Amino acid sequence: MDQDSHCTAERELLEAVSRITTSSTTNPSDKEENQPKADISCQVKKENPEKDDMQDSSATPSPNSSMTTKELQEYWRNEKRQCKQIKLLFEIPSTRIVEHHLSKYVMYKIIILQTGSFDSNKSVIERRYSDFEKLHRNLLEEFSEEMEDVTFPKKALTGNFTEEIINERKLAFKDYLRFLYSMKYIRRSKKFIDFLTRPELQEAYGCLRGGQYTKALEILVEVIGLQERLTRWNPVAVVPTLCAIVVCHKDLENPASAFEYGEKALSRLHVHTSHRYYMPLLETMITLAYELGKDFLSLQEKLEEWKKKKDPIRVFTLKELAVREYVR
């Protein structure tokens, strides 16, 4: 593309941005009159982000004439992302029969995908009938009204391991999970989130306590993606898992990876400095930054500032906190 064509393209982008910016200051009723239905739908979602659990994003800069073509393109990509509805899709493609001592049961393989964009990091978990049954019982206690029309496959006295019954339950459990996820208060409930993540987290923390850091790390990295999808509305919820990953990497002598996950955890705590993980995480990050030759003075300043505001109390180390998670 020659220079004149490049300038023309950039000018057209700037003019388009200018027109949209100008239209945003017009009377709301006029804006609705002239706006296509798709745009109105997108605007409603942006005004009510919690309604559909849309992806959280930092505020984008207002488009202006000082932005380059590349910056303008990035701006529009961010705008499109804000309008994109993010939801999870549940599939149960297969099962396996487990025989353990005197017991026999069916494990259902659940694949959880994120819709609205290409999701290369699908989550895979396994649950048995009794796990679903326990979830249903717990949800009925808290959401009896919402669960009024939810059907749950009954346990048969015989034939539980026939191909016909197993296939019926595969479809029933898939519809069951989709229905639960469609209700905001249920999909945000601790009981629903625990059903999808707690068994794996318990196993991971058990490995961590036993010094099996490689195995613990493998499970934690697998589950953190699902946790983030399920708690998009509450980013602080994944801090303990992120910190456990920091501990594993640190003990496996991977300081760069430990620091990377520590930064992710700190970014979620910047307005939650009273969180129990905040000070131990800062102390660990200072040690890692010093080891890696990174700026540790700014972290040290935050730590000193925190100590001035808080009364001196017994504070656990990051590892001590991590090994206390999910203790039965």
Quote the tokens at residue 242: 């992120």
In a 3-state reduction of DSSP, which class is residue 97? Answer: strand
Q: Which of 123, 153, 188 is at the close of a domain?
A: 188
Quote the tokens at residue 115: 């819709």
**What burial letters (b/e) apply to 162-200, b meaning 16+ CB within 10 Å?**
eeebbeebbebbbebbeebbebeebbbbebbbebbbebb
Residues 206 and 182 in one domain: no
| Straight-line distance from the first to the last Cα atom of the chain, in angstroms, rounded to the nearest whole number | 65
Instruction: Identify whether 24 is part of a domain.
Output: no
Instruction: Identify whether 297 is part of a domain.
Output: yes
Instruction: Report pLDDT digits (tens) over 179-198.
Output: 999 999 999 999 999 999 99
Instruction: Identify whether 239 is part of a domain.
Output: yes
Distance CA 5, CA 143 (A): 61
Instruction: Report pLDDT digits (tens) over 123-143.
Output: 999 999 999 999 999 999 999
Instruction: Report pLDDT digits (tens) over 262-317.
Output: 999 999 998 999 999 999 999 999 999 999 999 999 999 999 988 888 766 667 99
CATH number for the domain harbouring residue 250 = 1.25.40.10
Statement: the pTM of the whole predicted model exceeds 0.75: no
Tell me: pLDDT of 247 over 90. Answer: yes
Structural domain that includes position 204: 193-324
Distance CA 319, CA 250 (A): 10
Q: Which of 188, 217, 245 is at the close of a domain?
A: 188
Q: Which of 165, 188, 211 is at the close of a domain?
A: 188
Instruction: Identify whether 63 is part of a domain.
Output: no
Number of structural domains (the chain) is 2
Instruction: Report pLDDT digits (tens) over 154-181.
Output: 887 777 889 999 999 999 999 999 999 9
Sheet with 103-115: strands ordered across: 87-100, 103-115, 123-128
Q: How confident is the model at residue 37 (pLDDT cuts 50, 70, 90)?
A: very low
Q: Range with the lowest mean pLDDT among 2-16, 46-60, 187-201, 233-247?
A: 46-60
